Amino acid sequence: MTPCPDLGSGTSARPRVLVCDDEAQILRALRVILRDAGFEALPAAGAEEALDVAAVQRPDAAIVDLVLPDGDGVEVCRRLREWSAMPVIVLSAVGDEDAKVRALAAGADDYVTKPFGPRELVARLRANLRRSDPGPAEAVVEADGLEVDLARRSVRVGGQDVHLTPTEFDLLRQLVSNRGRLMTHRDLLRSVWGAGYADDTQVLRAHIANLRRKIEPPGGPRHIRTDPGVGYRFAG
Q: What is the CA radius of gyration of the chain?
A: 19
Contact 19, 47 (CB under 8 A): no
> Mapping DSSP to helix (H, G, I), strand (E, B) and coil, where does residue 148 land?
strand
Q: What is the pLDDT of residue 180?
A: 85
Q: Checking DSSP bridges between strand 88-93 and strand 61-65, what pairing results, if any? A: parallel
- CATH number assigned to the domain with residue range 140-234, chosen from the 4 options 1.10.10.10, 1.10.10.1100, 3.10.290.10, 3.40.50.10860: 1.10.10.10
Under the banding of pLDDT at 50, 70 and 90, the label for residue 101 is: confident
pLDDT in tens, 50-67: 999 999 999 999 999 998
What mean pLDDT is reported for the chain? Answer: 85
Q: Do domains 16-132 and 140-234 have the same CATH topology?
A: no
| CA pair distance 184, 182, nearest whole angstrom | 6
| CA pair distance 91, 99, nearest whole angstrom | 10
Under the banding of pLDDT at 50, 70 and 90, the label for residue 12 is: very low
Q: Which residues of 44-63 are buried (b: 16+ CB within 10 A; e: fewer)?
A: bbbbebbbebbeeebbbbbb
Length of the chain: 236
Class in CATH terms, 16-132? alpha beta
| CA pair distance 155, 148, nearest whole angstrom | 5
pLDDT in tens, 145-199: 899 998 888 999 988 999 988 888 989 999 998 888 888 998 898 888 877 777 8
Domain ranges within the chain, ordered by starting residue: 16-132, 140-234
